[in-house]
Structure 1
């Protein structure tokens, strides 16, 4: 009876936030849903097993085919037995038709002529799955590249590489930039989710390298308060496709972002992708970066246990990155 009179102390809940560039994209529209329904795809099975092993509370997927009715995302969520009753996806820029020769190769209608590389609309988009309700998401994916403060646009032979016609429509986001509020019982969590273009597959103008850097720099603009109030309780999560120490790309931009005083880097130097079969090696390209005022409890990268005979690439070259945080 005496114990019943003692005050109950609130214990901050630990949240596990993760991102995974899982290979959940297929060669045409509707094929991901087909494979999910068939339930015999070993790649999907490995992806699901990895997610179930880590059990994040909020998960950002950065290579997930989008369909307008959300059927594939609903089918994927159903594989987790109610763990993720809430999910969100918006139309990505991948595969979004422009009708222009965006890469100036003399042809139109190719995957690189879309707003972001894509063989079809929605190819390799993004998705968020959550244990908790998702609020009204702010989508920054429509911002034009030239509208980003301090944007560095490609130049070839001393002249702008992008024509005026292209500049008038070229979006910054190759896939998407979303500000996603998660409704937690003890206060706000805001996930800044994104997936940037690889900084390769271009020419001496470095179109993709510059765009990759500016896609990262958009979060600098947001966190500096230049696009409105800084989101409460934020965590940056997604695939930057940029390693601060190795690989292609303008690496100094990633190093500078990781050094921001309002961010924490729980996994410095930890590789998140394995391209050794291509002679590239291992690189760090996916990130979960909490704001300075979160308490980081733990963090890790889900690499296959090859000692148990697991195929290290069955779930793709990227690996799930997770961070445990509390207030």
Structure 2
């Protein structure tokens, strides 16, 4: 299917770009019932596939031939889960969508490891705050420059970016991005405090607060057209709540990045403060269908996230938690021990295989539908060791990613 391109100007440093072009199996092509308004079962997924690279241009080079082993492995996982819509986290942003095109053409549209090829004729990519210099000493180490002083941590612009792939059309005219939303403009923001001074919430100077953005990557509202209905894909990848100091600036930012979606899907004054990169204000309209998706870097019971960070979504009155599980996560926690033995959360819900000593395996990745989407099934792609497909997830050093693909089937 031929692909076309549409670029929408955004009030950020770059433009938002829209591109048109085990788990139980679902049909490859979108259900024809959507065309006549009948209910459709939609599989939505999120996958931090760790296709980030250490240098600018490296991802595009790795995807150019179709022979990169890691890309083949993560592509096979996507093919076997076969979601209709999937959010890819840690997929470096490349201007013009070249990396997304290469991944689709050279990997997803080519059978991998005995799996069937899958086509995603629609995609959305846009710039990420990662690696964009702020011009300020945001980590207060006495120097300006480097990844820790960027708007989002990254050694080059776009590192750790993201992309949305879809079998259904994306309403590009209605996409909203929130890359440039300032952290200080969130009412009651958990701005970090410098513990060495008596003043509150003063880690950032007044001048820095005028430029510090909330999103460590970005927040996107990507409307997907399923027949005559719209499902809003609310995509993000909040910062890990670590790699800081007693000021807990990353933990607090993680909390507020998660809070952004909780406020966005709440009608009325709660979301009235929100503005997007084109200056439009307010949150999602009441009654809208949506799915909050992404690596939220927050576990409801264990790990280093700020208290109740993810509970802002899990306990939201408009959101369903499908509680996807896997047997592989239970097995891994038992075999690996370490920090896992002290966790209070059920390991069946884990989605990430982190270091055994700390923090251990965690539930970090979420697909959270609105309550007006009926959940039919859910799972995490994390096979047990005896399953032949465990070769795709493996153990450290992982052949694919330290995260697992999470999928949910909903009725639209």
**What TM-score bracket applies, with the shorter chain setting the length?**
over 0.9
Stretches of structure 2 lacking an aligned partner (at least 5 in a row): 1-35, 110-117, 273-281, 325-345
Structure 1 counterpart of 2:380: 301
Shifted more, 167-176 versus 92-101: the winner is: 92-101
TM-score w.r.t. the length of structure 1 is: 0.93
Q: Following TM superposition, by how much is the alpha carbon of 1:175 offset from its aligned partner in structure 2, in angstroms?
A: 0.5
Q: How does 1:46-195 map to 2 (within 5 A)?
A: 46-78=73-105, 79-81=107-109, 83-136=119-172, 137-157=175-195, 158-159=198-199, 160-195=202-237
164-173 vs 73-82, which moves further: 73-82
2:309 to 234, 241, 253: 253
Structure 1: which 5+ runs fail to align? Answer: 1-8
SS in 1 for 2:95: coil
Residue aligned with 2:63, SS:
helix
Q: Which residue number corresponds to residue 371 of structure 2? A: 292
Count matched residues.
319
- Equivalence for 1:4: none
* Contact map agreement 2:47 2:404 (CA 8 A) in 1: yes
Cα deviation code 1:209-252 (max 9, x no counterpart):
00000000111221123243525211100111000110001141
Separation in structure 1 between the aligned mates of residue 98 and residue 254 of structure 2, nearest angstrom? 30
Asked if 1 retains the 8 angstrom alpha-carbon contact of 2:89 and 2:237, the reply is yes
What displacement does 1:94 show?
0.6
* 2:257 paired residue among 181, 192, 215: 215
TM norm structure 2 = 0.75
Relative distance call for 1:295 and 1:185 in structure 2 (3 A) is: same
Q: Find the counterpart in structure 2 of residue 320 from structure 1.
A: 405
1:53 deviates by: 0.4
Change in Cα spacing, 1:198 to 1:114, as seen in structure 2 (3 Å) is same
Question: Which is further off, 221-230 or 31-40?
Answer: 221-230
How far apart in 2 are the matches of 1:271 and 1:251?
18
Q: After alignment, is 217-226 or 13-22 more displaced?
A: 217-226
Query: Structure 2: how far apart are the matches of 1:14 and 1:251?
Result: 35
Aligned to 2:353: 274
The answer to which of 124-133 and 245-254 deviates more is 245-254
RMSD: 1.6
**Deviation above 6 Å: which 4+ runs of structure 1?**
none
Mapped partners of 1:146, 1:170: distance in 2: 8
C-alpha deviation, 1:11, in angstroms: 4.3
Larger strand fraction of residues:
1
